[in-house]
Structure 1
Amino acid sequence: MIDVEGWAPEPYETTETIKPGPAHALAGVLDTAPPERDLPPLWQWLYFLDRPAQKDLGPDGHPLAGRFLPPVPERRRMFAGGRCTFHRPLRLGESVTRRSEVASTALKHGRSGEMLFVTVRHTFVREGTEVAVEEQDLVYRSGDPANRPAPPSFEPPEADAPWTLRMTADPTLLFRFSALTYNAHRIHYDEAYATQVEKHPGLVVHGPLLAILCLELPRRAGRTVGELSFRARSPVYAGQPFAVTGSPEDGDLAVRAPGGVTAMSAAFG
């Protein structure tokens, strides 16, 4: 039973210089040129990282406790999506303050039981001026997974769009992205844990990685992104070929997985 009555974490701020090292490292992971000045959309996820002590981690690799981690027993966390607005780009070499707060919570009931939806809002400020606002939607479940999903397909998905980027995420790529984002969740690198404990059919591709890949399409086409939204709909697993697709006309973006599955939908403007 999920009970978060009285859970109201205080907002907090952290200030960091946007150094080029992490951005250059992610560019290497994505086989693309590193940014020269402006940080690409969503690459702020390489910065303002929590770095808990090893003794403070739970069996899944996530911290046992944290400022915005709800008091949910046997907690399992999933990335559901989010939204961003960029008034000005974050820039390499500049000092930025991020103010973080819980924007909303909602307890819902689904076929697999209770789910707690938590939206965390981050406001980025440079020299006293708000430059960007990001909201992340996270879902928390309690207890063991009820059912094991069907074995995934490995047939390349069909994709016919003006912008198309075909990829397959192998364990090496997942490990490098986990390292860059300081994400110790074992579903991304420990196949035995992912399959035997959380009942996935394989290693799970990070939702944030898929979102970043969606925004790579307009970035590589030279388009400026002022607003964006994204929603995770279905997991993608290591070894599955997938296609990131988009259209410059309507701003729609998507991750197409095998079997006609839309793993993520996104939009930019």
Structure 2
Amino acid sequence: MDPARANALRVAMGDTACFSKGSTLPPFFHQIYFWDPRPPEALGRDGHPKVGGLIPDMGLPRRMWAAGRMQFNAPLVTGTPAKRDTVVETSQRKEGRTGPLGFVTLRHEVYQDEVHCLTEWQDLVYRKDPAPDAVKPEAPQARTDEETRQDVRFSSTLLFRYSALTFNGHRIHYDLDYARDVEGYGGLVVHGPLLAQHLMLMAQAQLGPLETFQFRATAPLMHFETATLCSKGRDFWVRGPDGRQCMVASA
């Protein structure tokens, strides 16, 4: 786990802290490791690896990282090899209010020096393309009773750098024409894991080393919008500029 990659993420997020060999990684920084490069012909139209291998093909082209859970057993450190095993824990197709939905849960187990350091559950949702006249679902309103808050902005440069560091080819994060014209978003979409990363760093700063963390995305945030990171006790959430709830989490 190369410390240079962790330093690149720190700098991209506006922090000058420097990692060296043997440094403890902050929670969720493992997202920038375990790349799985695929050749161009093995990618789908959205830039993600084509489904039909590990993840079954349900005929639904739009992918979203809907939620995640983590159990931290031991710290990950830089300068030491690590291994991640991944399995599909559940996979099912259902009918929702807006049409068919596919739900996939991946379970990742991360080991370092034969120590089981982390278990992560990744919940993915697949859906069909939006109809031209489709009404966008109304986002829930976020809480306003926070004890701490922090405003954060996400430039298109940051989204590109985070995509590069996580080797995430999803075009909704850097291809404005695709995000707007194909998937129906109002702008570039801020990565759900990037929002979760901010909340995890806030949680660790307030609570100390984390044992568990879980988050759920509830509405997309666009790159031109200011997000407010909020916390109260062990609850954390992201509020959009119009008051909508973009993510909820607990630690």
Do the structures match in fold with TM over 0.5?
yes
Evaluate the alpha carbon distance shift between residue 158 and residue 170 of structure 1 in structure 2; reply closer, same or farther with a 3 A threshold. Answer: farther
Gaps of 5+ in 1: 1-17
**TM score, norm. by length of structure 1:** 0.84
Which residue is equivalent to 1:201?
186
Q: Distance in 2 between matches of 1:150 and 1:140?
A: 16
1:95 aligns with 2:107: no
Contact 2:42 2:50 in 1 (8 A): yes
SS in 1 for 2:82: strand
Identical columns (%):
38
Contact 1:202 1:237 in 2 (8 A): yes
Query: 1:167 corresponds to which letter in structure 2?
Result: V
Q: Distance in 1 between matches of 2:40 and 2:138?
A: 33
- Deviation per CA, 1:23-50, whole angstroms, max 9, x where unpaired? 1011011112244511111111000011
Which residue is equivalent to 1:30?
13
Gaps of 5+ in 2: none
Evaluate the alpha carbon distance shift between residue 226 and residue 151 of structure 1 in structure 2; reply closer, same or farther with a 3 A threshold. Answer: closer
1:254 aligns with 2:237: yes
1:144 aligns with 2:126: no
Output aligned runs, 1:172-191, within 5 Å. Answer: 172-191=157-176
Contact 2:68 2:216 in 1 (8 A): yes
CA RMSD of aligned residues (A): 2.2
**TM score, norm. by length of structure 2:** 0.90
- Deviation per CA, 1:238-262, whole angstroms, max 9, x where unpaired? 1111111113xx2111111122211
- Deviation per CA, 1:116-165, whole angstroms, max 9, x where unpaired? 11110011122333121000000112x3213264999xxxx996633322
SS in 2 for 1:260: coil
Which residue is equivalent to 1:7?
none
Output aligned runs, 1:32-111, within 5 Å. Answer: 32=15, 33-35=17-19, 37-65=23-51, 67-111=53-97
| TM superposition shift of 1:221 | 4.3
1:263 aligns with 2:246: yes
| TM superposition shift of 1:94 | 1.7
SS in 1 for 2:242: helix
Q: Distance in 1 between matches of 2:19 and 2:145?
A: 28
